[in-house]
């Protein structure tokens, strides 16, 4: 561990008040509207906008530190927002939104899923659902989108084969989190790599050493289950090979480590051409779908800007130093620093129910821990993404479980015992940290 001291604000726990206020406003109202007084047709944790909650937190951050003028605080926020990694991340969010919108409108996700389903034997329907969820999520870059596409199919497999519905749906959620964690165009990957200043391909190589063994163990468990059960009659699903092809090309380009901007631009162009060629898109619907996809990223972008501002003010006021002082008391090695990053990220995800937001909040502190404890930035980026995805894939009030439960007409809590992959991944994360000294 590097003991050299750099000029930094004095530790000030009260500087963390804005983030605590956010937790009270967002988490408190979420619990109230989800479990105490539910609103009909409304998911409790989405009654209070995360943007509103962070806006209140930003106001609190501005009211602190009377020694700074309002203009000085604006300048601090501007420096935080203007960080090269934050700007790059915002641009990638825009392109990822356009890609997601046009890919969905062109029929790419459904055709890809149906193509793979037609290949899988009925007995291996459940392992097949897991593999398909992994591939679709890696290609789409969104776990919620993957769950929306595959959860209805999981329900059909459950009904046709007489299999447990929570089990089939839980398997889809696990596979979706695998892809979300590794995808080059996932907002979590973008946030984790850009905030730590590492290349996506390097983070992928570090990340896959943990995620792939966990996925293989999960798949083995599911194959054993398949042999012990009677299997399911999946049925025949319609697909268009041309509509599925761009996803496989984008996936291959990502794995090869091609620049993410080039990957996204190529994906958008391919889906425009394929969509018009197959008749699933017109010039007008292509433009509209890209615009809709970009609009869907606006909340994430605004949250990123707000969090960057709050983080800059908290750091200036000594909040980060207070967290680091706490971690120093508990950790005296690289291993301890890595556990600090893991717990911080998981806690922020449990508090915010949003893995991208959790990464953006944790990233500046994680960067300081990385420098002080000699952690490889690629490991830090991997920990940020993996730990946020583990927490997000388990909490019953996260979008992933809520969407899956809503489609399957189940309670989100009923899915938790069947989330095999996130729990196996947690074990491998602990093993990977324990190997460090």
Domain presence at residue 5 = no
| pLDDT over 50 at 283, yes or no | yes
Range list of H helices, 106-199:
108-119, 125-140, 143-161, 165-182, 187-196
Residues 232 and 131 in one domain: yes
Residues 143 and 290 in one domain: yes
Domain presence at residue 402 = yes
Residues 243 and 95 in one domain: yes
Residues 288 and 373 in one domain: no
Domain presence at residue 324 = yes
Give the residue with greater pLDDT, 358 vs 351. 358
The answer to whether the beta carbons of residues 263 and 185 sit under 8 Å apart is yes
The domain in which residue 94 lies consists of 86-296
Tokens standing for residue 225: 């289950």
Lowest mean pLDDT: which of 86-90, 267-271, 298-302?
86-90
Closest CA to 113 of 140, 99, 133: 133
Sorting pLDDT into bands at 50, 70 and 90, what band is 261?
confident
**Tens-digit pLDDT profile for residues 262-280:** 888 898 999 999 999 999 8
Closest CA to 175 of 134, 128, 207: 134
Residues 154 and 232 in one domain: yes
Domain presence at residue 235 = yes
Between CA 139 and CA 183 the distance in angstroms is: 7
The answer to whether the beta carbons of residues 327 and 337 sit under 8 Å apart is yes
Between CA 305 and CA 360 the distance in angstroms is: 10
Residue 20 neighbours by CB distance under 10 Å = 14
**Tens-digit pLDDT profile for residues 307-348:** 889 888 988 888 878 887 887 787 778 898 999 999 889 888
Q: Quick one: what percent of the chain has pLDDT higher than 70? A: 92
Between CA 248 and CA 191 the distance in angstroms is: 23
Our measurement of the distance from residue 8's CA atom to the centroid of its chain's CA atoms, rounded to an integer in Å, reads: 31
| pLDDT over 60 at 231, yes or no | no
Report the number of distinct structural domains present in the chain.
Answer: 2
The answer to whether the beta carbons of residues 275 and 286 sit under 8 Å apart is yes
Q: Quick one: what percent of the chain has pLDDT higher than 90? A: 27
Radius of gyration of the chain (CA): 22
Residues 286 and 344 in one domain: no
Residues 243 and 130 in one domain: yes
Residues 290 and 308 in one domain: no
Between CA 232 and CA 383 the distance in angstroms is: 37
Write the burial class of residue 57 (CB in 10 Å: 0-12 exposed, 13-18 middle, 19+ buried). Answer: buried
Residue by residue, DSSP assigns 284-328 as HHHHHHHHHHHHHTHHHHHHHHHHHHHHHHHHHTTHHHHHHHHHH
Sorting pLDDT into bands at 50, 70 and 90, what band is 436?
confident
Residues 169 and 313 in one domain: no
Residues 249 and 326 in one domain: no
pLDDT computed for residue 1 by the predictor:
41
Last residue of a domain, one of 241, 274, 296: 296
Tokens 């899988």 appear where? 120
Tokens standing for residue 285: 């619907």
Last residue of a domain, one of 270, 296, 322: 296
Arithmetic mean of pLDDT, 339-365: 84
Domain presence at residue 1 = no
Domain presence at residue 243 = yes
pLDDT computed for residue 27 by the predictor:
79
What are the angstrom distances between the C-alpha of 107 and each of 114, 243, 280, 291? 11, 6, 7, 17
Sorting pLDDT into bands at 50, 70 and 90, what band is 259?
confident
Mean pLDDT (the chain) is 84
Between CA 338 and CA 366 the distance in angstroms is: 9
Between CA 168 and CA 148 the distance in angstroms is: 14
**Tens-digit pLDDT profile for residues 56-85:** 999 999 999 888 999 999 999 999 888 776
Residues 134 and 246 in one domain: yes
Closest CA to 177 of 168, 186, 164: 186
The answer to whether the beta carbons of residues 218 and 421 sit under 8 Å apart is yes
Domain presence at residue 244 = yes
Last residue of a domain, one of 266, 296, 326: 296
Residues 276 and 227 in one domain: yes
Between CA 214 and CA 427 the distance in angstroms is: 8
Tokens standing for residue 126: 């459940």
Tokens standing for residue 305: 């800007």
Residues with Cβ within 8 Å of 434's Cβ and at least 6 positions away in sequence, in order, are 335
Arithmetic mean of pLDDT, 420-436: 93
Lowest mean pLDDT: which of 2-16, 354-368, 400-414?
2-16
**CA angle 148–241–183, rounded 5-degree value:** 50
pLDDT computed for residue 43 by the predictor:
67
Lowest mean pLDDT: which of 244-258, 276-290, 331-345?
244-258
Domain presence at residue 3 = no
Tokens standing for residue 28: 């408190």
Between CA 5 and CA 11 the distance in angstroms is: 13
Residue 364 neighbours by CB distance under 10 Å = 20
């Amino acid at each position: 561990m590097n003991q050299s001291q750099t000029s930094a604000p004095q530790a000030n726990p009260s500087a963390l008040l804005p983030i605590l206020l956010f937790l009270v406003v967002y988490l408190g109202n979420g619990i109230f509207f989800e479990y105490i007084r539910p609103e009909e047709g409304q998911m409790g944790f989405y009654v209070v906008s995360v943007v509103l909650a962070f806006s209140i937190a930003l106001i609190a951050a501005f009211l602190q530190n009377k020694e700074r003028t309002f203009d000085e605080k604006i300048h601090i926020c501007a420096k935080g927002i203007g960080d090269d990694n934050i700007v790059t991340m915002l641009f990638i969010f825009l392109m990822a939104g356009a890609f997601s919108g046009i890919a969905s409108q062109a029929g790419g996700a459904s055709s890809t899923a149906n193509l793979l389903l037609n290949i899988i034997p009925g007995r291996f329907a459940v392992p097949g659902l897991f593999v398909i969820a992994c591939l679709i999520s890696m290609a789409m870059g969104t776990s919620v989108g993957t769950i929306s596409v595959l959860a209805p199919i999981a329900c059909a497999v459950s009904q046709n084969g007489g299999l447990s519905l929570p089990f089939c749906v839980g398997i889809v959620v696990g596979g979706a989190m695998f892809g979300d964690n590794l995808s080059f165009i996932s907002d979590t990957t973008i946030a984790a790599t850009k905030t730590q200043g590492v290349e996506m391909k390097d983070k992928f190589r570090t990340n896959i050493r943990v995620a792939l063994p966990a996925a293989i163990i999960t798949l083995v468990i599911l194959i054993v289950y398949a042999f012990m059960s009677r299997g399911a009659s999946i049925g025949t699903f319609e697909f268009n090979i041309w509509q599925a092809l761009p996803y496989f090309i984008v996936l291959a380009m990502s794995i090869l480590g091609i620049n993410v901007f080039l990957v996204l631009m190529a994906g958008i162009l391919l889906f425009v051409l394929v969509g018009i060629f197959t008749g699933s898109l017109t010039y007008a619907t292509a433009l509209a779908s890209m615009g809709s996809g970009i609009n869907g990223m606006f909340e994430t972008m605004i949250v990123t800007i707000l969090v960057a501002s709050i983080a800059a003010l908290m750091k200036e006021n000594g909040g980060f130093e207070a967290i680091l002082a706490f971690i120093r008391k508990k950790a005296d090695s690289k291993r301890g620093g890595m556990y600090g990053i893991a717990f911080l990220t998981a806690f922020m995800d449990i508090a915010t129910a949003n893995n991208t937001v959790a990464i953006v909040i944790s990233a500046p502190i994680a960067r300081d821990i990385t420098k002080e404890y000699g952690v490889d930035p690629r490991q830090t980026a991997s920990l940020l993404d993996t730990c946020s995805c583990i927490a997000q894939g388990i909490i019953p009030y996260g979008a992933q479980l809520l969407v899956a439960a809503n489609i399957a007409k189940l309670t989100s809590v009923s899915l938790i015992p069947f989330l095999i992959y996130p729990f196996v991944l947690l074990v491998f994360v602990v093993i990977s940290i324990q190997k460090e000294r």
